[in-house]
C-alpha cells in the first residue's frame, strides 16, 4: 500500500491535513498572488512532505500568515514530523528555541522564500509517535517550556470548533491573529477541516486595506482578542457595510461585559453573531464558548464546554484561609477534561519522548457555575499577589478599573502592587481607586504611566514586559538626581542607556522612558528635536540619520568601526538656522536676502510629517500634535501680548494670532507675526482634518498621495482662483499653505519619482509668488530643493552646535527680534543682529523650561499630595 503524501510508516497523522484533496476545486487560500484551490493545496503539501523526507524529524517552523508557511505546517503534520511552531517576527525567540531543542530541520524565511535548513539527515531525538505540535504557552517568548500537542488534540479541537461555530464550506475567514498563537492556528485548522476558505493576510483590522480585502473576497468571519475590539472602535466598525459577515469570534482574554453586550447587540442588528470563547494553549485552543443568543443577557460568562469537553470545579478549601477576600459560594478552580487536553509540557528535548502525562487541565482560573448552567470566571488563582500580608487578585483590580473606563495591567510582589496605565490616564485617581479596592495603603500601590501598554503578538497583555518596564532599579538614581556628565563612547563601547534615559526624561518631561522608547514614540517634536540631537551627539559621539525613530536600546549599541567619522548636519536643521539669520539680517537690514520665512514653512510641513504622522493610534497622534501646538501658541502669545502693551503699532488681534483674519491691515507692524499665525493655522487645520477617522485612514494608506493632493488643492488659493480680498498676498495663510503641504509631501516621498514630482511642483509654483523679486523666489526654490533631495550636509562639530542652537531657537528669535533690533540697527547693524539672536536664544531657554515644568505645576496645583506626580515612577530602563 502506498502511503499518502509521503506519510511515514507506523506514524499517526492529522486527518484534516491528509484530506485536503477531498474538497476538490473549492477555494482554500486567498493570497496576494491569487487563489489556491484545495486540490492545488493538497499537491503542494504532498510535494513539501516529500521534501521533508521519510525519516521522522523535529521541524522548527517560523509561523506567518502566508501560503508557504501553511504548506510546510500541513506537510509536516501529514508526514508525521512534529512541528515546533515559533513566532516568525522574533529572531531572538528562534535562536533561543533552536539552542534549547536542537531541531533537526529549521524552516524560516530567506530572500522572500521559505528556506529549509536540514541540520541532520535523521533525528537527534526520540520522538513519541503521538507528538504532532509544540507551542509556547505564551505565544511570544522564547521560554523553553512548551506545550506538547498530539494529532488527536488537533483533530478533536478542530472538529469541536467547527461544530459549534457551524463552519461551512462557503465560509471565508480572514487571518487576524498570528499563526503561532493557538487561537490563530485554531482558525486555520477548523476551516481547513470543513473545506472553507482562508484569506491570508498580515494586515491589521485598523488598516483600511484589510476591509477592502475582506469585502472583495466575501469574508464571512474573523477572530479577535480584546485589543482587536479596541481597534474596531477606532476604525468605525459599527458603520461598516460587510454583507457577507456571519460571525465574529472573541477569545485571548476577558472582554469587558459591557463590550460583549455592545457587540452582541450590534451583531444582532447587522445580522451577524458574536461568539465569546475561552481557551488555553494547553487545551489546543478552545474549552468553552458562549452561544450568541446568550451573550447580551450573560456577557460576563464564558459559556458552556465545547463539544466533547467537560468542566468541574475543584474546591478551594485548601486555599480559602489565604484569601484576603473569599471568592464567594460555589467558586472553585476550573478544571477541564476533553480530547483536546495536551499530552503535557516539555522543558527539554528529553521530554519529547514522553507520551501523555496530563489527563485533565487545571486552568488556574477561579470560576462558578450559574443556575443557567453557564460558567463564569471570577478570578485567577495563579496571579494572586500577597502584598503586606494581603492576598490581592490583579485580575479583579483590572476589572474594577475597566469599569471606571481605565485599561490597566497589574502585577505585584511582596511590597507593592504595580498598575501600568496609558499616559492619558489620571494616575493619582487610579492609585486611590486601587488602594481603596484592595484595602492597601496608598504607599503600597505604584502607578506606572507608559506610552503604550505592551501586548504580545496575539494581542494579549504582555505581563512580562510590564514587570520589566516597571521594575524599580536598585542603583539607578531619579531623573532629577545630579550625575556627572557622560563621556562619549568609543567605537567599540556601548553607550550608557541610563544616561540616555535621563536625557529623554528631562527634555520630553516623561517618566515612562524605557530602553524600547523612541523620540517620536514619546511625543518628541521639532521644538525639542534639535536640542535632543545635539545632546545625544555629545553622549554618543555619533548620531544616525534616523535616530528619532530608533529605540534607546538601538542607540546604545556600539557603531561599526569606521576609518574616519565625518560630521554632518541635517538639512532641515541647517535650513532653520540659516533662514532665521537671513530673516533677521534682512529686516535690520544688514543685508537683503529674503525668502527665509517661506522656506521655514516648507520645513515646518516636513517636520510635521516626520514627528507627528507616526504609526501611533489616531488619538495618540492627535494628543501629541495638540501638545506641540500649545508649545508654539503659549510663548508666542505671551511675548506678543508684552509687545502690544509696551510698543505702538500692534492691535489686540495680534495677541490672539488673528491679525490676518480680523486685523485692520493698515500698518506694516500688524503683519510682523504672520508666520506664527500661518503656522498655527496650518497645524490646527491639519489636526482637525486627521481627527476624522476616514481621513486618518486615508493618510496612513497613502502617506505620499495624501499631502500631494492637499498641495494640489491648495493651488486654488495659492493663485487666488476664488477671488479673496488679499491685502498682502504672499503673507496670507490661505496662499502659502501649499508650501507646508509640499514640505509634508517631501518628508513622505520614498522614491525618486515622488521626489521629482515634489521638486517639479516647487519649481513650477514658486515663481510669481513675489512679483519682481526673483532673488526671493530663488531662495525659496533652492531651500525646498535641498529639503527634497539632500538629507544631510557635511559639517564640523562647532558648526553643528551653533546651527543647533539657532535652529532650536528659531521660533523665539523670530518672535523677539522685532522689538530688539531697532535698539541698535541705526548704530551697528551687526550688533543688532547679534543681540537679536542672543535675546531670542535667551527667551527660548526660559520658555522651554517653563513649558516643561508647566504640566507638572498644573497637576500639583490641581491635585493632592497623593496625585500623579507622587505616583509617577522614575524613568525605567529595563527591556
Listed as own residue / partner, the contacts of 106-110 with beta carbons closer than 8 Å and 24 or more positions apart are 106/59, 106/60, 107/59, 107/60, 107/61, 107/62, 107/72, 108/60, 108/61, 108/62, 109/62, 109/64
Residues 348 and 413 in one domain: no
- pLDDT averaged over every residue in the chain: 84
Whether 547 maps to a domain, the answer reads no
Query: How many separate domains does the chain show?
Result: 3
**Confidence band (pLDDT; 50, 70, 90) for 249?**
very high
pLDDT confidence of residue 511 = 60
Higher pLDDT, 443 or 55: 55
In a domain, 596, yes or no: yes
User: Quick one: cell of 135?
Assistant: 507551542
- Per-residue pLDDT band for 172 (boundaries 50, 70, 90) equals very high
Range of the domain at 25: 4-368
131 falls within a domain: yes
Closest alpha carbon to 611 in 633, 631, 628: 628
Percent above pLDDT 70 for the chain = 84
Query: Quick check: is 716 in a domain?
Result: yes
CA–CA separation, 210 and 175 (whole Å): 10
pLDDT of 478 above 50: no
| Residue 155 to residue 132: CA distance in whole angstroms | 11
Helices 596-612 and 526-540: angle between axes, nearest 10 degrees: 70
Domain boundary among 343, 368, 393: 368
| Residue pair 739/785 in contact by the 8 Å Cβ criterion | no
| Residue 375 within a domain | no
For cell 508557511, name the residue: 69
Cell of 323: 484569601
Under DSSP, is residue 288 helix (H, G, I), strand (E, B) or coil?
strand
pLDDT given at position 865: 39
The sign of the dihedral angle between the CA atoms of 315, 321, 322, 324 is positive
CA distances from 6 to 49, 155, 735, 783 (A): 6, 20, 71, 66
Distances (CA, A) of 583 to 32, 600, 636, 775: 52, 10, 17, 14
Whether residues 180 and 212 fall in one domain: yes
Nearest by Cα to 415 from 437, 394, 395, 443: 443
Query: Cβ(147)–Cβ(281) under 8 Å?
Result: yes
Q: Residue 494: its pLDDT value, please?
A: 54
Q: Which residues lie below 8 Å from residue 305, measured CB to CB, with a gap of 6+? A: 287, 288, 311, 336, 338, 375
pLDDT (tens digit per residue) in 577-625: 999 999 999 999 899 999 999 999 999 999 999 888 877 778 878 888 8
pLDDT at 772: 84
Q: Are residues 86 and 228 in the same domain?
A: yes
Per-residue pLDDT band at 855 (split at 50, 70, 90): low
Residues 354 and 465 in one domain: no
Claim to verify: residue 406 and residue 467 sit in the same structural domain: yes
1: confidence class by pLDDT, cuts 50, 70, 90: very low
Q: What pLDDT band is residue 54 in, cutting at 50, 70 and 90? A: confident
The residue count of the chain comes to: 879
Same domain as 364, residue 390: no
Distances (CA, A) of 657 to 35, 413, 627, 653, 817: 58, 53, 18, 6, 17
Asked, for residue 866, whether it belongs to a domain, the answer is: no
Residue 334's beta-bridge partner residues? Answer: 313
C-alpha cell at 878: 529595563
Lowest mean pLDDT among 33-37, 176-180, 369-373, 852-856: 852-856
In this structure, are 393 and 362 located in the same domain?
no
**The domain boundary residue, chosen from 334, 368, 402:** 368
Instruction: Kindly state the greatest CA–CA separation across the chain.
Output: 106
pLDDT tens track for 96-133:
899 999 999 999 987 767 888 999 999 999 999 999 99
Q: 311 by DSSP, 3-state: which?
A: strand
Paired residues of 247 in beta bridges: 221, 273
Q: What CATH number is associated with residue 415?
A: 3.30.300.30
Cβ(184)–Cβ(251) below 8 Å: no
**Rounded-to-integer distance, Cα 519 and Cα 555, Å:** 11
Contact 289, 277 (CB under 8 A): yes
Which residue, 238, 220, 205, is CA-closest to 167? 220
Q: What's the Cα-to-Cα distance from 13 to each of 19, 122, 151, 152, 669, rounded to whole Å?
A: 11, 19, 6, 9, 84
Same domain, 319 and 446: no
pLDDT band at 457 (very low <50, low <70, confident <90, very high): confident
CA distance 718 to 708: 14
| Dihedral over alpha carbons 784, 785, 790, 793 (to 10 degrees) | -70
Comparing 79-83, 270-274, 529-533, 823-827, which segment has the lowest mean pLDDT?
Answer: 529-533
Over residues 31-44, mean pLDDT: 94
Judgement on whether residues 326 and 437 belong to the same structural domain of the protein: no
Task: Give the pLDDT band (50/70/90) at residue 781.
Answer: very high
Candidate from 320-334, 361-375, 529-543, 684-698 with smallest mean pLDDT: 320-334
pLDDT confidence band for 540 (50 / 70 / 90):
confident
pLDDT tens digits along 279-329: 999 999 999 999 999 999 999 999 999 999 999 999 875 444 334 344 556
Task: Say yes or no to pLDDT of 565 above 60.
Answer: no
Strand residues in 167-325 grouped as ranges (E): 172-174, 197-199, 221-224, 247-250, 273-279, 286-290, 304-305, 310-314
Q: Is the Cα torsion angle 213, 216, 222, 228 positive or negative in sign?
A: positive
Q: State residue 448's pLDDT score.
A: 85
Q: Among residues of the chain, what percentage have pLDDT more than 90?
A: 51
| 458 and 352 share one domain | no
What are the helix and strand counts (H, E) for the chain?
Answer: 31, 27
In a domain, residue 216? The reply is yes
Pairing between strand 417-422 and 408-412? antiparallel
Pair 789, 559: CB distance under 8 Å: no
CA-based R_g, the chain, Å? 31
Q: Where are the beta strands (DSSP E) in 554-594?
A: 568-570
Asked if 479 and 524 count as a contact pair (C-beta separation under 8 A), the reply is: no
Contact 836, 815 (CB under 8 A): no
Judge if 817 and 684 occupy the same domain: yes
Distance CA(184)–CA(198), nearest Å, equals: 12
Mean pLDDT along residues 362-386: 82
Cβ pair 515, 497 in contact under 8 A: yes
Residue 143: its pLDDT value, please?
Answer: 61
Asked if 74 and 220 sit in the same domain, the reply is yes
pLDDT (tens digit per residue) in 189-238: 999 999 999 999 999 898 889 999 999 999 999 999 888 898 898 888 99
CB count in 10 Å sphere of residue 594: 19
CATH code at position 227: 3.40.50.12780
Residue 766 located in a structural domain: yes
Among 414, 442, 472, the domain-final residue is 472
The DSSP line for 500-526 is: HHHHHHHHHT-S---TT-BTTTTT--H
Amino acid at each position: 500500500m502506498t502511503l499518502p503524501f509521503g506519510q511515514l510508516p507506523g506514524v499517526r497523522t492529522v486527518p484534516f491535513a491528509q484530506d485536503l484533496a477531498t474538497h476538490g476545486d473549492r477555494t482554500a487560500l486567498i493570497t496576494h498572488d491569487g487563489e489556491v484551490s484545495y486540490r492545488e493545496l493538497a499537491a503542494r503539501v504532498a510535494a513539501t512532505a516529500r521534501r521533508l523526507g521519510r525519516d521522522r524529524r523535529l521541524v522548527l517552523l517560523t509561523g506567518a500568515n502566508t501560503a508557504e508557511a501553511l504548506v510546510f505546517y500541513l506537510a509536516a503534520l501529514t508526514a508525521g514530523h512534529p512541528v515546533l511552531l515559533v513566532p516568525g517576527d522574533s529572531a531572538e525567540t528562534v535562536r533561543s528555541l533552536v539552542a534549547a531543542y536542537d531541531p533537526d530541520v529549521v524552516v524560516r524565511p530567506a530572500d522572500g522564500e521559505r528556506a529549509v535548513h536540514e541540520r541532520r539527515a535523521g533525528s537527534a531525538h526520540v520522538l513519541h509517535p503521538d507528538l504532532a505540535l509544540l507551542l509556547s504557552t505564551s505565544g511570544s517568548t522564547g521560554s523553553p517550556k512548551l506545550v506538547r500537542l498530539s494529532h488527536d488534540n488537533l483533530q478533536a479541537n478542530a472538529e469541536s470548533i467547527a461544530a459549534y461555530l457551524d463552519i461551512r464550506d462557503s465560509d471565508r475567514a480572514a487571518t487576524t491573529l498570528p499563526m503561532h498563537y493557538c487561537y490563530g492556528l485554531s482558525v486555520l485548522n477548523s476551516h481547513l477541516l470543513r473545506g472553507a476558505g482562508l484569506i491570508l493576510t498580515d494586515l491589521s483590522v485598523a488598516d483600511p486595506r484589510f476591509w477592502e480585502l475582506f469585502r472583495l473576497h466575501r469574508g464571512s468571519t474573523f477572530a479577535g482578542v480584546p485589543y482587536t475590539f479596541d481597534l474596531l472602535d477606532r476604525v468605525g466598525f459599527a458603520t461598516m457595510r460587510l454583507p457577507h459577515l456571519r460571525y465574529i469570534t472573541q477569545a485571548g482574554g476577558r472582554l469587558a461585559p459591557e463590550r460583549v453586550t455592545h457587540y452582541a447587540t450590534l451583531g444582532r442588528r447587522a445580522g451577524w453573531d458574536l461568539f465569546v470563547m475561552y481557551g488555553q494553549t494547553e487545551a489546543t485552543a478552545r474549552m468553552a464558548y458562549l452561544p450568541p443568543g446568550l451573550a447580551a443577557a450573560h456577557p460576563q460568562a464564558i459559556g458552556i464546554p465545547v463539544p466533547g469537553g467537560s468542566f468541574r470545579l475543584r474546591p478551594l478549601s485548601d486555599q480559602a484561609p489565604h484569601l484576603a477576600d473569599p471568592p464567594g459560594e460555589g467558586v472553585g478552580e476550573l478544571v477541564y477534561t476533553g480530547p483536546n487536553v495536551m499530552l503535557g509540557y516539555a522543558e527539554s528535548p528529553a521530554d519529547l519522548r514522553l507520551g501523555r502525562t496530563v489527563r485533565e487541565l487545571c486552568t488556574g482560573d477561579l470560576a462558578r457555575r450559574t443556575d443557567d448552567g453557564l460558567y463564569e470566571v471570577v478570578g485567577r488563582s495563579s496571579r494572586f499577589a500577597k502584598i503586606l500580608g494581603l492576598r490581592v487578585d490583579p485580575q479583579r483590580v483590572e476589572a474594577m478599573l475597566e469599569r471606571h473606563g481605565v485599561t490597566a495591567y497589574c502585577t505585584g510582589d511582596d511590597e507593592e502592587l504595580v498598575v501600568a496605565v496609558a499616559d492619558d490616564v489620571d494616575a493619582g485617581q487610579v492609585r486611590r481607586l486601587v488602594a481603596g479596592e484592595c484595602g492597601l495603603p496608598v504607599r503600597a500601590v505604584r502607578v506606572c504611566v507608559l506610552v503604550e501598554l505592551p501586548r504580545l503578538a496575539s494581542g494579549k497583555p504582555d505581563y512580562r514586559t510590564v514587570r520589566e518596564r516597571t521594575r524599580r532599579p536598585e542603583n539607578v538614581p531619579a531623573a532629577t538626581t545630579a550625575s556627572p556628565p557622560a563621556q562619549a563612547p568609543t567605537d567599540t563601547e556601548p553607550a550608557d542607556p541610563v544616561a540616555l534615559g535621563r536625557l529623554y526624561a528631562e527634555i520630553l518631561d516623561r517618566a515612562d522612558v524605557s530602553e524600547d522608547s523612541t523620540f517620536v514614540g514619546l511625543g518628541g517634536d521639532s521644538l525639542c528635536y534639535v536640542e535632543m540631537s545635539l545632546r545625544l551627539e555629545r553622549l554618543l559621539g555619533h548620531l544616525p540619520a534616523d535616530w528619532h525613530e530608533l529605540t534607546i536600546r538601538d542607540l546604545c549599541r556600539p557603531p561599526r568601526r569606521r576609518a574616519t567619522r565625518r560630521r554632518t548636519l541635517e538639512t532641515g536643521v541647517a535650513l532653520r538656522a540659516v533662514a532665521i539669520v537671513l530673516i533677521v539680517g534682512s529686516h535690520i537690514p544688514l543685508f537683503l536676502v529674503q525668502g527665509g520665512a517661506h522656506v521655514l514653512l516648507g520645513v515646518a510641513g516636513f517636520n510635521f510629517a516626520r514627528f507627528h504622522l507616526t504609526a501611533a493610534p489616531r488619538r495618540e497622534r492627535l494628543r501629541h500634535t495638540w501638545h506641540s501646538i500649545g508649545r508654539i501658541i503659549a510663548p508666542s502669545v505671551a511675548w506678543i501680548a508684552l509687545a502690544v502693551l509696551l510698543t505702538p503699532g500692534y492691535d489686540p488681534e495680534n495677541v490672539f494670532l488673528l491679525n490676518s483674519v480680523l486685523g485692520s491691515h493698515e500698518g506694516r507692524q500688524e503683519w510682523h507675526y504672520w508666520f506664527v499665525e500661518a503656522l498655527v493655522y496650518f497645524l490646527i487645520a491639519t489636526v482637525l482634518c486627521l481627527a476624522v477617522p476616514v481621513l486618518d485612514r486615508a493618510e496612513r494608506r497613502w502617506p505620499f498621495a495624501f499631502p500631494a493632493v492637499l498641495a494640489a488643492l491648495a493651488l486654488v488659493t495659492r493663485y487666488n482662483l476664488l477671488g479673496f480680498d488679499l491685502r498682502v498676498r504672499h503673507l496670507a495663510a490661505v496662499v502659502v499653505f501649499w508650501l507646508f503641504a509640499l514640505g509634508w509631501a517631501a518628508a513622505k516621498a520614498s522614491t525618486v519619482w515622488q521626489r521629482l514630482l515634489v521638486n517639479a511642483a516647487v519649481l513650477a509654483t514658486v515663481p510669481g509668488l513675489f512679483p519682481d523679486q526673483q532673488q526671493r523666489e530663488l531662495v525659496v526654490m533652492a531651500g525646498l530643493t535641498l529639503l527634497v533631495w539632500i538629507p544631510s550636509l557635511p559639517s564640523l562639530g562647532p558648526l553643528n552646535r551653533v546651527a543647533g542652537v539657532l535652529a532650536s531657537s528659531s521660533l523665539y528669535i523670530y518672535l523677539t527680534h522685532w522689538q530688539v533690533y531697532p535698539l541698535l540697527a541705526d548704530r551697528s547693524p551687526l550688533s543688532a543682529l547679534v543681540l537679536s539672536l542672543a535675546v531670542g536664544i535667551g527667551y527660548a531657554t526660559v520658555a522651554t523650561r517653563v513649558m516643561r515644568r508647566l504640566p507638572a505645576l498644573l497637576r500639583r496645583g490641581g491635585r493632592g499630595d497623593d496625585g500623579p506626580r507622587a505616583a509617577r515612577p522614575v524613568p525605567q530602563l529595563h527591556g
